[in-house]
């Protein structure tokens, strides 16, 4: 199966990403030891020149890695017909023990790449590259995740066995079952929808607040991380049944299917991107505003915050549309 074009593309992307990340991590260790923007030594000049090459390579692989998440999920859904018992991407991911960890690692890589790209963009706006140490320290912190994501993806695809009988979503996402999936499915719909709409409204307001200072933006980043989990739980417990028009179907992956208008992409994409944007601005706020970015960084964070606010409103609007057009009466 590894010779399937989408799988080859995913393996190639993960392999290149891991290799570039590992090489960049080695450079990061050297940079953190010797970087001194005030120095005019030959070593400092070489470091400055090398940062352009390293940053360009990282930007390319990180954008590719972010796109790989959508391809990974789409490929898992496409391959469901090959495995007995699989009805959607969830069944394909459960074919072996590496599928779900590989998917979660891909999600983590999406957020890590987006955060690093935001910090890098802010750093490039300063004449003295004030966030250089921070962004390469961040690169080192994310390096184990990059390597784990590549390894898990290879293990998953190399161990796919079409003779395995897998579990479908109707057995996993049911309130009567056991495990995390069952707990998410059993969440009270009223509480779930209150969390979804209330949280999106609060985060949109915080993100778009033009005079938000350092700590409100840090708080918004923390709340965005917490809300992400709650929003996914709300989709599983309440929004998904409205889309399927049955109270017993809670699968978050079937939302990506064409018979449901690919509505899952319209829900997940703004949620993922908005979460990444607020995490990035929260980290930038925690790092503080350097003198060389006194005007540019706050303006940049406001622009990013406005984009995040629009995405949160879009996410809530799609969820509301799914509920309003449904014939299911889940709360009444």
**Residues 290-326 pLDDT 10s:** 988 999 999 999 999 999 999 999 999 999 999 999 8
Mean confidence (pLDDT) of the chain: 89
Residues 6+ apart with CB under 8 A from 89: 73, 76, 77, 80, 253, 256
What is the model's pTM? 0.91
Same structural domain for residues 17 and 123?
yes
Same structural domain for residues 56 and 81?
yes
**Residues 30-59 pLDDT 10s:** 999 988 888 878 888 899 899 999 999 999
Q: How many angstroms separate the CA atoms of 31 and 145, rounded?
A: 21
What pLDDT sits at residue 213? 82
Are 157 and 2 contacting, i.e. CB atoms less than 8 angstroms apart?
yes
Same structural domain for residues 157 and 203?
no
What pLDDT sits at residue 176? 60
Domain boundary among 167, 183, 201: 167
The one-character DSSP state at 179 is S
Same structural domain for residues 186 and 328?
yes
Domain boundary among 128, 147, 167: 167
Question: If we measure between CA atoms, which residue out of 285, 284, 280 comes closest to residue 307?
Answer: 280
Q: Which long-range CB contacts under 8 A does 75-83 form with residues at least 24 apart?
A: 75/4, 75/6, 75/7, 75/10, 76/103, 76/253, 77/253, 77/256, 77/257, 78/6, 79/1, 82/1, 82/162, 83/162, 83/164, 83/165, 83/166
Burial class (CB in 10 A: 0-12, 13-18, 19+), 324: exposed
| Lowest-pLDDT choice from 130-134, 160-164, 221-225 | 160-164
Chain centroid to Cα 46, Å, comes to 34
Are 57 and 120 contacting, i.e. CB atoms less than 8 angstroms apart?
no
Same structural domain for residues 1 and 140?
yes
Q: For every residue of 196-214, which 3-state class applies, written as one string?
A: HHHHHHHHHHHHHCCCCCH
Are 267 and 318 contacting, i.e. CB atoms less than 8 angstroms apart?
yes
What pLDDT sits at residue 286? 94
What pLDDT sits at residue 227? 96
**Residues 85-113 pLDDT 10s:** 778 888 889 888 999 999 999 999 999 99
What pLDDT sits at residue 73? 92
Average pLDDT over residues 130-143: 94
**If pLDDT is split at 50, 70 and 90, which confidence band does 182 have?**
low
**Structural domain count, the chain:** 2
Q: Which domain holds residue 76?
A: 1-167
Average pLDDT over residues 172-176: 65
Same structural domain for residues 201 and 295?
yes
**How many C-alpha atoms does 278 have within 13 Å on its Cβ side?**
35
Question: If we measure between CA atoms, which residue out of 128, 131, 135, 123 comes closest to residue 27?
Answer: 135
Same structural domain for residues 138 and 179?
no
The packing angle between helices 189-208 and 296-325, to 10°, is 150
**If pLDDT is split at 50, 70 and 90, which confidence band does 136 have?**
very high
> Measured between alpha carbons, how far is residue 294 from residues 90, 122, 277 in Å?
47, 11, 20
What pLDDT sits at residue 94? 87
Average pLDDT over residues 226-232: 94
Same structural domain for residues 132 and 196?
no
Same structural domain for residues 158 and 200?
no
Question: If we measure between CA atoms, which residue out of 329, 139, 330, 319 comes closest to residue 234?
Answer: 319
Domain boundary among 167, 188, 221: 167
Same structural domain for residues 28 and 53?
yes
Beta bridge partners, 84, equal 165
Extended strands (E) in 84-198: none
Same structural domain for residues 158 and 186?
no
Same structural domain for residues 281 and 147?
no
């Amino acid at each position: 199966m590894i010779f399937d074009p989408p799988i080859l593309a995913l393996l190639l992307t993960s392999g290149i990403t891991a290799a570039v990340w590992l090489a960049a991590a080695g450079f990061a260790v050297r940079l953190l030891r010797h970087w001194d923007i005030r120095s005019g030594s030959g070593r400092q000049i070489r470091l400055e020149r090398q940062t352009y090459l390293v940053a360009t390579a990282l930007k390319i692989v990180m954008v590719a890695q972010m796109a790989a998440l959508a391809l990974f999920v789409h490929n898992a859904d496409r391959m469901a017909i090959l495995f007995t018992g699989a009805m959607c991407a969830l069944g394909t991911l459960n074919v072996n023990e590496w599928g779900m960890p590989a998917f979660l690692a891909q999600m983590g890589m999406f957020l890590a790449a987006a955060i690093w790209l935001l910090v890098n963009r802010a750093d490039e706006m300063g004449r003295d590259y004030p966030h250089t140490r921070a962004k390469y320290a961040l690169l080192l912190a994310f390096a184990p995740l990059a390597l784990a994501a590549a390894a898990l993806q290879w293990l998953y695809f190399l161990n796919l066995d079409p003779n395995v009988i897998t579990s479908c979503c109707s057995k996993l996402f049911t309130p009567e079952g056991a495990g995390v999936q069952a707990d998410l499915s059993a969440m009270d719909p009223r509480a779930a929808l209150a969390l979804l709409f209330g949280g999106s409204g609060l985060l949109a307001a915080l993100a778009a607040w033009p005079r938000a200072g350092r700590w409100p933006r840090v708080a918004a980043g923390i709340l965005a991380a917490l809300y992400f989990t709650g929003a996914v739980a709300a989709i599983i417990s309440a929004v998904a049944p409205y889309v399927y028009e049955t109270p017993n179907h809670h699968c978050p992956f079937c939302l990506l299917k064409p018979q449901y208008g690919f509505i899952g992409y319209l829900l997940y994409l703004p949620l993922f991107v908005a979460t990444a944007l607020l995490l990035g601005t929260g980290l930038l706020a925690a790092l503080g505003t350097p003198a060389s970015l006194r005007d540019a960084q706050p303006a940049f964070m406001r622009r990013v915050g406005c984009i995040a606010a629009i995405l949160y409103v879009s996410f809530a609007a799609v969820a509301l549309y799914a509920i309003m057009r449904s014939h299911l009466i889940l709360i009444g």
